[in-house]
Amino acid sequence: MKKVSFTLLSLLIVLFLFTGVQAADKAAIKKNVDKIVTGINSGKKAGDFKAGDYTPYAFIMEEGGKLLVHPSLSGKSLKEKAPPVYNALVKATRQGVWVDYTWKGKKKHSYVRKTKGGLIGGSGYSE
């Protein structure tokens, strides 16, 4: 009985720690995207931001799908390259929202937010 209790307690601790880490990651992602959107709303240009300056990387996309900032797809149209991903990301709001989609076989979760001018800033994580 003690082994079962110890095992259950251990599993609960691991689950709690994992959930806490994931929550911290989500908070950091939101903070990064909010910083980008606030910067653009204050007069900065999309080109003032670099995808790799954020962990995980950040992206900036025009409403029409062209990626302005991305580690490997800058200048490409996400609307043409990956319509389901584009359709998820354009659900961005001025307040910010979490969206889910599949990219290259992996489930992704991204926080996306629109700027005053309609650009979409985002960042996320994979399962």
**pLDDT of the residue at 127:** 87
Domain architecture of the chain: domains with CATH: 2-126 (3.30.450)
**pLDDT of the residue at 17:** 34
**What mean pLDDT do residues 21-39 have?**
87
Buried b (16+ CB within 10 A) or exposed e, 28-60: ebeebbeebbebbeeeeebeebebeebebbbbb
Whether residue 56 has pLDDT greater than 80: yes
What's the pTM? Answer: 0.82
**What mean pLDDT do residues 107-118 have?**
97
